[in-house]
Amino acid sequence: MPSSAVADDRPLLVIYTGGTLGMVETEWGLAPGGDIATRLARALDALPPGRGALLPRHEVLAVDTPIDSSAATPSDWSHLAGMIAARHHDHAGFVVLHGTDTLAWSAASLAYQLQGIDRPVVLTGAMQPLEAPGSDAADNVALALRYAANPALQEVAIAFGGRLLRGVRARKWHTRDAEAFASPNYPLLGERVGDDAVLYPSRGLERQQRGAPRFELANYAGLDDGGVARIALWPGISARQLDTWLTAPALKGALLEVWGGGNLPDDPDLLGVLARASGEGKLLAAISQCPHGPITPGDYAAGQGLATAGVLSGDAMTPEAAFTKLVHLLAQPLPDAERRRRFLTPLVGERL
């Protein structure tokens, strides 16, 4: 389905948060550059006619202090969601310009916070700055604008390298490649075919009904300082090491990355640490260290202990989607049983 028509005459909003796309060369290396609206317009005007023609009307808003995305925190995610929610009725869709390092993390978090969004929210960035020779920046922004103008897209997505990916299914896969993002366990939502931005509507979230979206704009500030941990198991991990992580005073939840289909060492002390943390109300979940496929705890004897210890299955979720979901649930005043139920429930297409 081509992304040609906008449902109404409201402009798109482009929100610039920072990242390589807006940087400029200095004697000390790449650094954030100013006047992003003028520079972006110049770069889009220089695109080949087929790519740059008829781009939808848009406005540009830059955050007060652009950041390198590697410095982003949960508070930045909630601030960005608040910016979009506050302007939701003023724009037909949104494009977020973001650094690539944690772009998938922000996309996943926005999806949970903006549940029920009835228009596109498309994140993009670049591997090279706007003015760099051969830069991918203008192409990525043009693609994001075209998808953000398509009212059939009603979710948070990532447009990058000619492809459109679901925000809660995407990961940064390459450090330098122009097709830097992959969707290991879900097909593409769309892709560029020639000069057209094709959307595959059967792969998107169901079209939202009229009415107010069910945004969940929780305050994430309390989880900035170690509220949720990401712990990848390694051969030889001890109960003492795991206990050090899980008994940290600030910790409220943890994502465990286990082996294969959901295996971990058959160590009673290790399982005891997990069971004790879960019993104390800490929200624990597990995914596989393998990028493809779900975990199915219980297929092997080595995985039986996860469920027994109260660790929730993350199915085939990406680390970004699972981690940001834990943050989102823990930031809300929910009973423990409801948090656990919601983690196991697909909210925005993040799990099977």
User: Which residues are identified as catalytic?
Assistant: 20
In degrees, to the nearest 5, what angle opens at C-alpha 332 toward C-alphas 331 and 336? 100
DSSP helix/strand/coil, 17:
coil
Q: Are the C-beta atoms of residues 318 and 279 closer than 8 Å to each other?
A: no
- DSSP code for 149: T
- Helices H / strands E in the chain, number of each: 10, 16
What are the residue ranges of helices labelled H in the chain? 36-45, 49-52, 74-86, 103-113, 137-148, 239-246, 268-279, 304-308, 319-330, 336-344
Please give the Cα distance from 210 to 347 (Å, whole number): 19
Tell the residue number behind the tokens 């109960």, with chain if given: 239
